[in-house]
Structure 1
Amino acid sequence: MNTYQIYTPDSAAEPSKATLQVLQDAFGFVPAVAGLMANSSPLLSSFFAAFGQFRGFGTFGADERQVLLLSNAVANRSEWAVAFHTLEALADGVQPDVVEALRRGELPEDPRMAALSRLTRTLIDKRGHLDDSDVAAFTAAGFTDEQVLEAIIGVAVSTMTNYTGNIARPDLEEAVAPHAWKPEYSTGG
């Protein structure tokens, strides 16, 4: 049962108001998990700062970021985050067949996107203890050693949103609802 309030720019405490307003302006609504994270302004601030670095200064393209974030959401079995990142992935140009494969917990046929999804899931599964072969498979797909480290940021911001969503279980927003997902949809393969 969710006992956490979903805050808006109008209802949040001062440290979170501006952040929620930026998100509302960007998406046209405050994503439920961001509104939930406002129950802890340090969590919301940490997420917003890390995501800003990941998005603003990272080297992954928008489609690659979404493949990473959607892969993590499926790995963490976060219903809200899978639905949200499905919406965002499609908007950021990820091919529908790639999105569907990720939602099923499978690797997409696209070799580059498959390598990115595999690396991020492996980071989660192995708790960061990558083997040389894990890194080699990633770099063989055209990624750099530096992007292995950059993927850690994606895992970190995903963990914040995925765990918040898993704990609070918010309803899906109207824009996100068509992309609803249940963990049993994923084969985990």
Structure 2
Amino acid sequence: MISYHTRNAGDIAESAEEQFEVLRDACGFVPADVALMADSPALVNTFFSACGHFRDEGTFAPDEQQVLLLSNAVANRSEWAVAFHTMEALAEGVEPSAVEAIRQGMLPKNRRMAALSSFTQSVIELRGQVDEAEVAAFQAAGFTSAQVLEVITAVAISAMSNYVTNIARPPLEDAAVPHSWNARELTGF
């Protein structure tokens, strides 16, 4: 089991220090998943790189990114990540009813967000072995072939974060505590 502790500047992989400061400025803290990754320069730098490309070069809007990441957290049953991405999704303007549906393992009522959530969960649950009908349904909701591939990026980002927190079980940051979640809340799985 890896242990959780708050990282100080001296504990951070040198190549990741700038990213930690960006997170601290944006969130007011370094999220636990990233703090835990600091023990592995290969992991933390891969995570930061993937997140940067996903955020800066991807075509999903910020609210869609959060629907993806929250849906992945639920599919991976990552209690820390569900709380964190609930907080982030609400901050990005995702409808509270959509957030709650995803947290319960159900689909949002919004057709586009439902297709996004459903497709990314299928990619995780089927380990990428989705059939043509699932890809067609995703694209029928207005998503592109390139976005099919971007979903894989989100799944990879989530695997790094969710698996680290599933193993280490860090405490929630104060800002995420109101959004705590337990996998037993799933009704649609």
Distance 2:66 2:103 in 1: 12
| Cα distance in 2, alignment partners of residues 41 and 23 from structure 1 | 17
Q: 1:163 corresponds to which residue?
A: 163
Asked whether the 8 Å contact 1:104–1:186 carries over to 2, the reply is yes
Structure 1 range deviating more: 76-85 or 179-188 = 179-188
One-letter identity of the residue aligned with 1:97: S
Q: Which residue does 2:112 correspond to in 1?
A: 112
Is this contact kept in 2: 1:20–1:30, CA < 8 A? yes
Instruction: Kindly report the root-mean-square deviation, in angstroms, between the aligned alpha carbons of the 2 structures.
Output: 1.3
* Separation (CA, whole Å) in 2 of partners of 1:59 and 1:5: 35
Which position in structure 2 is the counterpart of 1:16? 16
Q: Which amino acid letter does the alignment assign opposite residue 33 of structure 1? A: D
- Distance (whole Å) between structure 2 residues aligned to residue 4 and residue 99 of structure 1: 28
What's the TM-score once normalised by structure 2's chain length? 0.96
Which residues in structure 2 correspond to 1:142-161 (within 5 Å)?
Answer: 142-161=142-161
Counterpart contact for 2:37–2:44, Cα < 8 Å = yes
Counterpart code for 1:41: P
- 5+ long unaligned stretches in structure 2: none
> 2:155 is paired with a residue of what secondary structure?
helix
SS at match of 1:157: helix
CA contact (8 A) 2:4 2:170 kept: no
How far did 1:180 drift? 0.3
Alignment of 1:40-189 (within 5 A): 40-189=40-189
CA–CA separation in structure 1 for the residues paired with 2:88 and 2:4:
25
Give the conservation status (yes or no) of the 8 Å contact 2:67–2:113: yes
Over 3 Å counting, the alpha-carbon distance change for 1:185 and 1:46 in structure 2 is same
Deviation by residue 1:2-23 (Cα, 9 ceiling, x = unmatched):
5243324353242332221121
Please tell me whether the aligned partners of residues 11 and 38 of structure 2 are also in contact (alpha carbons under 8 angstroms): no
**For the residues of structure 1 that align with 2:179 and 2:77, how far apart are their CA atoms?**
14
Are the structure 2 counterparts of residues 13 and 47 from structure 1 closer, same or farther at C-alpha, using a change threshold of 3 Å? closer
How has the CA–CA distance of structure 1 residues 144 and 13 changed in structure 2, closer, same or farther, with 3 Å as cutoff? Answer: closer
The alignment of Structure 1 onto Structure 2 pairs a total of residues equal to 189
Runs of 4+, deviation exceeding 4 Å: none
1:148 CA displacement: 0.3
- Identity rate of aligned residues, in percent? 57
Give the letter for the 1:73 counterpart. Answer: A
Deviation at 1:159, TM superposition (A): 0.5
Asked whether the equivalents of residues 5 and 39 of structure 1 are also in contact (C-alpha less than 8 Å), the reply is no
Deviations 1:130-151 (A, max 9, x none): 1000101101101111100111
Unaligned regions of 5+ residues in structure 1, if any?
none
